[in-house]
Structure 1
């Protein structure tokens, strides 16, 4: 899986830093009306995070699960930490947390995804956020979306996805319910314009 090769010195693929927007004919219900931010794309496969699906857990729940705080400590968290967004990043390893964040926070384990956005999947960033010392913009993703070699390219060719350059504002925007329409609007497309079937010349 490409996730294991997601390193700071990797060569970026042509879909790195792109949005994938699910087409209406998307067969996999895991990805119905999703917008995915691609973090790594190579001949080995691809990985990314759904950016418009909520998760029914709070940051305090995550901290308690990791045994970083107890229930009584939860009310003492800084307001920004109490309100820190947790989202469903995808169906793969859904119990594992990843933090997508602005590049003003870096640790030894942070991996640059684009010129402005990094990914950190270690406890140091969770501790920093809980103490109010985290990055300016960030969201935690539980799980990720992954594709094997050639799989994503085949899905794009089969009219499963549209792709376009990502927007940092849209990645970190808290209005999840309207992200699908807004991502399409960046391409000048409305949902009503999308066909359920692949178009072939």
Structure 2
């Protein structure tokens, strides 16, 4: 039987930064919450692209492909962004992906058809064109100590919303914050206004 923390868990949800977000690293960010319990929380920023690094470059750096193989990479990989998943362990890679690809003992099924894998095997599969149909790669993650995320939400740092795979996996990272707010029926311009507060 599930405990109360399972009901209150934000796992599989979006965190959408409020315009008043004090931490500039998370300004206008959308975070997919991968885990959340009384032990703390972990999530990946899904709308900040690491402009200095392409997935093709990363695959070469990790010796998954060489320069010759890189020419033959599937188009879906060639156009895939590498995201800045958060300020913690920025050298560590995480792939959020559809559940049509699973690695035994490596893939964590989060829910709603979305999984997390953090091994090189999924990058090899993507490079060979046999990986998941939808994937998003992030370096680093965002982490919260027990109770910290709840406090930030209470202090109006974040809005929460059900994660939409169409927003999550969309290569257009620039529009994700506005679209995530729009899915809640919120016009971002209204959040900036001080008028109308009761």
Could you tell me the TM-score, scaled by structure 2's length? Answer: 0.89
Describe the SS at the equivalent of 2:111.
Answer: coil
1:95 aligned to 91, 106, 116, which one? 91
CA 1:101–1:13: 2 relative to 1, 3 Å: farther
Q: Normalized per residue, which structure has more strand?
A: 2
Q: CA deviation at 1:14?
A: 1.8
Equivalent residues, number: 189
The whole-number CA distance in structure 2 between the counterparts of 1:34 and 1:196 is 19
Q: Secondary structure at the match of 1:99?
A: strand
Query: Structure 1 residue 77: deviation in Å?
Result: 1.7
1:1-201 matches, cutoff 5 A: 14-56=9-51, 57-108=53-104, 109-194=106-191
Q: Distance in 2 between matches of 1:117 and 1:30?
A: 25
How far the C-alpha of 1:123 sits from its partner, in A, is 1.2
Displacement over 3 Å in runs of 4+: none
- Unaligned stretches of 5+ residues in structure 2: 1-5
TM-score, normalised via structure 1 length: 0.88
CA-atom RMSD in angstroms: 1.8
Conserved 8 A contact 1:12-1:42: no
SS of the aligned residue for 2:36 comes to strand
Q: Is this contact kept in 2: 1:14–1:41, CA < 8 A? A: yes
- The answer for unaligned runs of 5 or more in structure 1 is 1-10
